[in-house]
Chains A and B, each alone.
Chain A
Amino acid sequence: MAWFRKEKKRLTKQKRELPPDVWAKCDSCGEIIYREKLADNFFTCPKCDHHFRIGPDDYAQLLLDDGLEEEFDADLRSVDPLNFVGPTRYADRYEKAIRKNGRKEAVVTGSGRIDDLNVKFGVMDFGFIGGSMGSVVGEKIARVAERALDEENPLIIVSASGGARMMEGVLSLMQMVKTSAALGRLHKSSVPYISLLTHPTTGGVTASFAMLGDVIIAEPGALIGFAGPRVIEQTIRQELPEGFQRSEFLLEHGMVDMVVPRPELKPTISKLLQHMVG
Chain B
Amino acid sequence: MSQIGQLKKMASQRGLNVDNELKKLEARLDELRAETFKSLSPMERVQIARHAQRPHSLDMIERIFADWIEMHGDRSFRDDPAVICGWARLDGESVMVIAQQKGRNTKENLKRNFAMMHPEGYRKALRMMKMAEKYKRPIITIIDTPGAYPGIGAEERGQAEAIARNLLEMSLIEVPILAAVIGEGGSGGALGLSVADRIIMMEYAIYSVISPEGCASILWKENTEETRNQAAAALKLTAPDLYELGVIDQVVDEPEGGAHNDWDVAARVLRQALTENLKELTKRSASDLLDARYEKYRKMGAWNGD
Contact = CB atoms under 8 A, between A and B. Distances in A.
Interface of A: 73, 75-79, 81-82, 84-87, 134-136, 138-139, 142, 164, 166, 168-178, 180-185, 187-188, 203-204, 206-212, 224-227, 231-232, 235-236, 240-241, 244-245, 249, 253-255
Most buried by A among B155, B165, B293, B306: B155
Could you say which interface size class chain B belongs to? 35 or more
B281 interface: no
Contact of A171 (B154, B168, B302): B302
Given A209-B164, A244-B155, A170 B302 contact: no
Contacts, number: 193
B126 interface: no
Given A81-B245, A181-B171, A208 B155 contact: no
Nearest to B206: A170
A172 B159 CA distance: 19
Contacts of B236: 82, 169-170
B110 interface: no
A183 B168 contact: yes
B164 A235 contact: no
A77 B301 contact: no
A206 B192 CA distance: 13
A135 B303 contact: yes
B169 interface: yes
Interface string B272-302: 0000000000000000000001100110111
B164 A206 contact: yes
Interface stretch (B3-11, B88-96, B212-220, B262-270): B212-220
Contacts of A172: 209
Contacts of A164: 187-188, 209-210
B207 interface: yes
B237 interface: yes
A82 B158 CA distance: 32
Contact of B300 (A178, A225, A241, A253): A178
A182 B299 CA distance: 12
Interface in B136-160: 148-152, 154-160
Contacts of A183: 168
A87 B219 CA distance: 7
Nearest to A186: B168
B247 A166 contact: no
Nearest to A238: B152
Contact of A177 (B157, B167, B305): B167
A79 B245 CA distance: 14
A210 to B, nearest CB: 8
A166 B209 contact: yes
A240 B195 CA distance: 32
11 contacts: A139-B303, A164-B210, A178-B298, A181-B167, A183-B168, A207-B163, A208-B167, A210-B160, A227-B148, A227-B159, A244-B152
A148 B208 CA distance: 31
B156 A253 contact: yes
A173 B235 contact: no
